[in-house]
């Protein structure tokens, strides 16, 4: 379970996040929907502890990120916006490195890596150096290394950004499977259709604040509109920066 409580963050005089509060349940997909620059990435970074909130807190399975960063991260898998791999290491070596950083090793680690290679259908590229991988192949390696420690909670920052159609379909498939495993999945997106297709709960963020939260049906009812797009306009006043 992931919880954000009154998150506030300013960089110098720019206030990136003003008030973000929400809860993401296990076995559910929670989508953070908002235009570019609304504060989604900064909120995500506060959830996985790379940015310290000025006010408020984030917790993973009840462990406050600010109090026990290492402990909170053990049950958290993150696919950040930046997906850089090590080009001189093979796909397997890239995944293995992150596994070892999670204190896994030996046969247990190799078994887990093989399971991930199965799940993501990437045995063919496992022993190749990642230099020259396609965007889809890079994404698979990045997912595998984020999931190597089998985390109960998963954060994905704009996971379909820059992916082609096939990779996007595969990514949605994966997100559904994570949910079916009973994990808590939070992903951010500025693509309304994607959020609508995947999410059990939608958290609408605009200008650094949560302006509405609930299932798609609840949001439509609150805004008294027929489509998510119309609802979004009614809730935030514009669709600028959304797709």
Partner 1 sequence: MLHVLLAIVHKELLDGVRDRRAVLSAFSFPLFAPLLIAFMLNSLATRTDDPLELAILGGENAPELVRFLENQGVELQDAPEDPQLAIEDGVLDVVLVIPEDYGEDFREGRPASVQMMVDNSQHTALSGITTVRTLLRAYSGHIGALRLLARGVDPALMSPITIDELDQSNPQKKAANLLDMIIMFVVLGAFVCSMYIAIEAAAGERERKSLEPLLINPVSRTILVVGKWLAAVAFGFVGVVFTLIVMMLAIGAIPLETLGFRIMLTAEVGFWIFLIAAPLAPLAGALQLLIASFTRSFKEAQLYISLSLTLPMMPGMIMSLKPIKTEAWMYAVPLLSQQVLGAKLLRGEDIALLNYVLAAGSTLALTAVFLWATVWLFSRERMLFGKG
Residue 5 Rama label (left phi>0; alpha psi -120 to 50; beta): beta
Instruction: Tell me: does residue 110 bind partner 1 (CB under 8 A).
Output: no
- Six-digit token string for 137: 């192949």
- One of 6, 36, 67, 101 touching partner 1 (CB under 8 A): 101
**Nearer to partner 1 (CB atom), residue 96 or residue 179:** 96
Instruction: Tell me: does residue 105 bind partner 1 (CB under 8 A).
Output: yes
- One of 13, 14, 62, 82 touching partner 1 (CB under 8 A): 82
User: What is d(CA 4, CA 20) in angstroms, rounded to the nearest whole number?
Assistant: 7
> Coil, helix or strand for 150?
coil
Instruction: Tell me: does residue 81 bind partner 1 (CB under 8 A).
Output: yes
- Six-digit token string for 155: 């954060």
- One of 16, 65, 85, 143 touching partner 1 (CB under 8 A): 85
- One of 1, 63, 89, 234 touching partner 1 (CB under 8 A): 89
Residues 20/7, Cβ–Cβ less than 8 Å: yes
**Nearer to partner 1 (CB atom), residue 97 or residue 215:** 97
Q: Which of 200, 181, 193, 176 is nearest to 31 (CA)?
A: 200
Q: Minimum CB separation from partner 1 for residue 86, in Å?
A: 6
Q: 129 to each of 6, 68, 160, 178, how far by Cα in Å?
A: 43, 35, 23, 27
Instruction: Tell me: does residue 55 bind partner 1 (CB under 8 A).
Output: no
- One of 27, 36, 52, 221 touching partner 1 (CB under 8 A): 52
Give 186's strand partners.
30, 155
CA 157 and chain centroid, separation: 4
First vs last C-alpha separation in the chain: 29
- One of 78, 113, 198, 213 touching partner 1 (CB under 8 A): 78
- One of 5, 61, 93, 150 touching partner 1 (CB under 8 A): 93
**Nearer to partner 1 (CB atom), residue 145 or residue 190:** 145
Instruction: Tell me: does residue 39 bind partner 1 (CB under 8 A).
Output: no
Draw the binding track, 131-170, toward partner 1 (x: CB under 8 A; -: no contact): -----------x--xx------------------------
Count of residues touching partner 1 (by CB under 8 A): 32
Q: 148 to each of 74, 102, 105, 159, how far by Cα in Å?
A: 11, 8, 11, 17
**Nearer to partner 1 (CB atom), residue 184 or residue 219:** 184
User: What is d(CA 189, CA 179) in angstroms, rounded to the nearest whole number?
Assistant: 17
- Six-digit token string for 32: 């953070």
Return residues touching partner 1 (CB under 8 A): 48-52, 69-71, 73-74, 78, 80-89, 93, 97-98, 100-103, 105, 142, 145-146
């Amino acid at each position: 379970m992931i919880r954000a409580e009154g998150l506030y963050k300013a960089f110098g005089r720019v206030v990136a996040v003003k008030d973000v509060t929400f809860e993401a349940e296990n076995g559910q997909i929670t989508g953070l929907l908002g235009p570019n620059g609304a504060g989604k990435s900064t909120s995500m970074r506060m959830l996985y502890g790379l940015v310290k909130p000025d006010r408020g807190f984030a917790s993973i399975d009840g462990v406050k990120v600010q109090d026990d960063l290492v402990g909170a991260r053990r049950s958290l898998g993150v696919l950040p916006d930046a997906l850089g791999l090590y080009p001189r290491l093979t796909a397997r070596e890239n995944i293995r490195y992150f596994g070892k950083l999670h204190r896994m090793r030996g046969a247990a680690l190799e078994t887990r890596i093989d399971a991930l290679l199965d799940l993501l259908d990437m045995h063919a590229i496992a022993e190749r150096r990642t230099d020259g991988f396609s965007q889809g192949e890079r994404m698979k390696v990045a997912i595998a290394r984020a999931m190597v420690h089998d985390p109960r909670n998963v954060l994905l920052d704009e996971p379909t950004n820059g992916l082609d159609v096939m990779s996007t379909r595969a990514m949605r498939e994966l997100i559904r499977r994570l949910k079916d495993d009973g994990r808590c999945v939070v992903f951010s997106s500025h693509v309304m259709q994607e959020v609508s297709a995947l999410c059990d709960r939608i958290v609408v963020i605009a200008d650094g604040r949560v302006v509405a939260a609930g299932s798609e049906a609840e949001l439509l009812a609150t805004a008294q509109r027929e489509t998510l797009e119309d609802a979004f306009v009614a809730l935030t006043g514009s669709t600028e920066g959304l797709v």
